A and B are shown apart, each in its own frame.
Chain A
Amino acid sequence: MPDHWGFVAAAYAVAAVALGGYWRRLVRLERDLEAPRLRAVGSRRRAAPRS
Chain B
Amino acid sequence: MVTIVLGWLSAIAVATGMILALLIAPRELTQGNVQRIMYVHVPSVWVAYLAFTVVFAASIVYLAKRAPGADRLAHASAEVGVVFTGITIVTGAIWGKPTWGTWWTWDARLTSVAILFVMYVGYLLVRAMIDEPERGARYAAVLGIVAALDIPLVHFSVYWWRTLHQPPSVIKPGPATMPGVILLALLLNFAAFTLLYAYFVTKRVSLLRADADAAA
Binding site for B on A (CB under 8 A): 1-5, 7-8, 10-12, 14-15, 18-19, 22-23, 26, 29-30, 33, 36-37
* Interface size class, chain B: 20 to 34
The verdict on B72 contacting chain A, using a C-beta distance below 8 Å, is: no
Query: Could you say which residues of chain B place their CB within 8 Å of the CB of A2?
Result: 32, 98
Binding site for A on B (CB under 8 A): 18, 22, 30-34, 36-37, 40-41, 44, 79-80, 83, 86-87, 90-91, 94-95, 97-98, 196, 200, 203-204, 207, 210-211, 214
Cα distance, A7 to B36, chains bound together (Å): 10
* B207 lies within 8 A of A26 (CB): yes
Query: Could you say which residues of chain A place their CB within 8 Å of the CB of B83?
Result: 18-19, 22
Given A3-B34, A4-B33, A7-B98, output 4 extra A-B contacts at Cβ < 8 Å. Answer: A4-B34, A14-B90, A22-B79, A23-B200
Give the most central of A1, A2, A3, A10: most B CB within 10 Å: A1
Query: Could you say which residues of chain B place their CB within 8 Å of the CB of A19?
Result: 83, 87, 196
Query: Could you say which residues of chain B place their CB within 8 Å of the CB of A37?
Result: 214
Q: List 9 contacting pairs A-B, 8 Å CB cutoff, sorted by A.
A: A1-B31, A2-B32, A3-B32, A7-B98, A8-B22, A8-B34, A14-B90, A15-B40, A26-B203
Q: How many A-B residue pairs have CB under 8 A?
A: 71
* B211 lies within 8 A of A33 (CB): yes
State the main secondary structure of chain A at its contact with B. helix
* A7 lies within 8 A of B97 (CB): yes
* A1 lies within 8 A of B40 (CB): no
Within the complex, the shortest CB–CB distance from B38 to chain A, in Å, comes to 10
Query: Could you say which residues of chain B place their CB within 8 Å of the CB of A3?
Result: 32-34
Query: Could you say which residues of chain B place their CB within 8 Å of the CB of A1?
Result: 30-32, 34
Cα distance, A22 to B90, chains bound together (Å): 16
